[in-house]
């Protein structure tokens, strides 16, 4: 019995729970439906409000039109207020219509609209029409007066024309006489034309004769030009031969050493040379050392490179130098010759430089360092360009060497400066020397990246050998400034 009661109680609770959920769902649906209807009501109210505002705007636009036309019930004094009402509305079409209405009003009335005067004295379309009617009436009266004047002038003109007819008759007689004179003059003109034709034919014959003479002169001129060109070519060949002879003579005369070795220390690290303060020698000046029996320094192999470390103060022609490179098995001996392409006693050798100066092989410019090495070794840079191709100085006949670095051709400014200096050097017959060869001949020691010999030589082995072993001729005394 207790079990049945508990089952009935449980069944009752389940039914009540279901009814509760159903009732809650219906309440939620009704609440959502009420919100939806409320939104629709709000939208409808907005539409109604906008429609009423639009209707008021167009009513104001009609009132503006009536005021501008000037009807009996128009309110011209409220025109400004009406316009502000239309301009402040959100109806863009009404605002554009108001602008068109104002433009038409200004065009017809012919003055700016002013609604500050509420007395209604501002012009309207009807005022303008009445004014035009009055003006037309006045113009009609003026036209009547003008018509009367025209008739009077017409009668006077007819009288004057009768007088002119007599003058025309007289002029006609004179014209007939003038035509006879013209015929006589025409006959004379034709005769003159015939004479001119005869003279023209004679002139043409003279021009033909002159043309033949001109052809003869041209042939003579061409023969003379060919003769002169032959002489020019002959002189060029003679000049080339003379320059070759001059180079040979210059090379022979300049195969002269700058000095010689006086002594060598026991350790073979330092030497004394017969140059000093009287010769304007400088510390760190570099020289190449050649055997004392050598006479041809163009192809000779140097024994060593030395660098001046001390200049004696008690003697005019003695200095100490350190040996920093030497040939194995070929010791330096007293009496050996010393040479440098950038040093002459009391004279700074003029040097020109073109291209990228890379001393250590890292691909970067060492221009400033190179300039210091040249100055240090008795030379002076007279022409050079920077890393942007800006030139400084010019090459002339006094320039001893043109030292050429690398020219990759990628920078057009550097390429232009490189070409410019090479052209000047060729013009003044200045010797051109590669950077590596110049460094070797100068005898300085440049520490840089190690480079494999076989990689550098490649297919140009003989050029590298000539560059390393060759010696560029030195300028003679008359080359100095």
CA angle 474, 476, 481 (to 5 degrees): 105
**Kind of pairing, strands 347-354 and 343-344?**
antiparallel
pLDDT at 81: 72
- Given a contact cutoff of 8 angstroms between Cβ atoms, the answer to whether 371 and 382 are in contact is no
> Tokens 């004014």 correspond to what residue?
131
Is residue 392 scored above 90 in pLDDT? yes
Closest by CA to 336, choosing from 282, 288, 388, 268, is 288
Question: What residues contact residue 295 under an 8 Å CB cut-off, 6+ apart?
Answer: 255
Strand extents, DSSP E, 55-126: none
75's tokens = 């309110």
**How far apart (Å, rounded) are the C-alpha atoms in residues 204 and 196?**
12
- Given a contact cutoff of 8 angstroms between Cβ atoms, the answer to whether 403 and 353 are in contact is yes
Where do the H-state alpha helices sit in 273-394? 367-376
Mean of per-residue pLDDT scores for the chain:
78
When mean pLDDT is compared across 8-12, 316-320, 411-415, 440-444, the lowest value belongs to: 440-444
**How far apart (Å, rounded) are the C-alpha atoms in residues 443 and 326?**
11
Phi, psi of 338 (to 5 degrees): -125, 140
Is residue 471 scored above 60 in pLDDT? no
> In the 8-state DSSP scheme, what is residue 393?
S
- Given a contact cutoff of 8 angstroms between Cβ atoms, the answer to whether 299 and 469 are in contact is yes
318's tokens = 């003695």
Residue 314's pLDDT band (boundaries 50, 70, 90)?
Answer: confident
Is residue 403 scored above 80 in pLDDT? yes
Considering only residues 353 and 25, tell me which one the structure prediction assigns the higher pLDDT: 353
Closest by CA to 449, choosing from 330, 326, 363, is 363
- Given a contact cutoff of 8 angstroms between Cβ atoms, the answer to whether 392 and 422 are in contact is no
Question: What residues contact residue 141 under an 8 Å CB cut-off, 6+ apart?
Answer: none
CA angle 387, 393, 394 (to 5 degrees): 115
Question: What residues contact residue 416 under an 8 Å CB cut-off, 6+ apart?
Answer: 389
CA angle 14, 19, 20 (to 5 degrees): 95
When mean pLDDT is compared across 189-193, 277-281, 380-384, 418-422, the lowest value belongs to: 277-281
3-state secondary structure of 273: strand
**How far apart (Å, rounded) are the C-alpha atoms in residues 481 and 477?**
9
pLDDT digits (tens, 9 = 90+) for 251-275: 433 457 888 999 999 888 899 998 9
pLDDT at 243: 64
> Tokens 């005869």 correspond to what residue?
198
**Domains in the chain, please, with CATH?**
18-109 (no CATH), 258-339 (2.40.30), 341-481 (3.40.50)
pLDDT at 479: 36
3-state secondary structure of 161: helix
pLDDT digits (tens, 9 = 90+) for 437-450: 888 877 766 655 43
pLDDT digits (tens, 9 = 90+) for 205-244: 888 888 888 888 898 888 888 888 888 888 888 777 776 6
Question: What residues contact residue 376 under an 8 Å CB cut-off, 6+ apart?
Answer: 282, 284, 285
Phi, psi of 350 (to 5 degrees): -75, 125
- Given a contact cutoff of 8 angstroms between Cβ atoms, the answer to whether 340 and 378 are in contact is yes
């Amino acid at each position: 019995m207790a079990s049945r009661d508990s089952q009935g109680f449980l069944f009752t609770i389940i039914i009540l729970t279901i009814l509760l959920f159903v009732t809650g769902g219906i309440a939620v649906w009704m609440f959502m439906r009420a919100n939806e209807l409320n939104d629709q009501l709000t939208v409808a109210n907005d539409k109604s409000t906008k429609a009423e505002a639009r209707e008021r705007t167009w009513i104001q636009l009609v009132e503006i039109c009536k005021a501008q036309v000037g009807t009996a019930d128009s309110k011209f004094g409220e025109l400004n207020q009406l316009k502000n009402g239309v301009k402040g509305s959100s109806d863009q079409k009404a605002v554009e219509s108001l602008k068109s209405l104002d433009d038409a009003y200004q065009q017809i009335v012919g003055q700016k609209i002013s609604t500050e005067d509420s007395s209604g004295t501002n012009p309207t379309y009807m005022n303008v029409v009445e004014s035009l009617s009055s003006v037309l009436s006045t113009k009609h009266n003026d036209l009547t007066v003008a018509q009367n004047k025209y008739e009077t002038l017409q009668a006077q003109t007819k009288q004057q024309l009768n007088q002119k007819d007599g003058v025309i008759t007289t002029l006609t007689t004179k014209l007939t006489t003038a035509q006879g004179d013209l015929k006589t003059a025409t006959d004379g003109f034709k005769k003159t034309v015939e004479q001119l034709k005869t003279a023209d034919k004679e002139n043409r014959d003279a021009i033909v004769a002159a043309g033949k003479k001109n052809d003869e002169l041209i042939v003579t001129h061409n023969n003379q030009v060919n003769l002169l060109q032959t002489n020019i070519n002959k002189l060029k060949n003679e000049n080339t031969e003379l320059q070759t002879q001059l180079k040979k003579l210059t090379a022979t005369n300049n195969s002269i050493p700058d000095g010689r070795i006086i002594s060598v220390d026991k350790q073979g690290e330092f030497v004394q040379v017969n140059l000093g303060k009287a010769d304007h020698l400088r510390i760190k000046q570099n020289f190449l050392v050649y055997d004392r029996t050598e006479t041809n320094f163009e192809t000779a192999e140097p024994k060593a490179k030395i660098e001046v470390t001390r200049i004696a103060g008690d003697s005019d022609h003695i200095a100490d130098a350190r040996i920093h490179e030497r040939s194995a098995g070929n010791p330096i001996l007293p009496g050996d010759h010393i040479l440098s392409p950038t040093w002459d006693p009391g004279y700074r050798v003029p040097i020109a430089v073109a291209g990228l100066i890379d001393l250590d092989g890292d691909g970067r410019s060492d221009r400033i360092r190179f300039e210091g090495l040249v100055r240090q070794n008795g030379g002076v840079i007279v022409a050079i360009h920077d890393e942007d191709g800006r030139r400084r100085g010019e090459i002339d006949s006094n320039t001893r060497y043109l030292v050429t670095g690398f020219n990759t051709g990628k920078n057009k400014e550097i390429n232009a400066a490189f070409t410019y200096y090479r052209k000047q050097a060729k013009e003044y017959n200045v010797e051109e020397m590669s950077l590596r060869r110049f460094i070797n001949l100068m005898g300085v020691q440049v520490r840089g990246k190690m480079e494999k010999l076989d990689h550098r030589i490649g297919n140009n082995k003989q050029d590298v050998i000539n560059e390393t072993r060759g010696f560029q001729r030195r300028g003679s005394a008359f080359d100095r400034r």
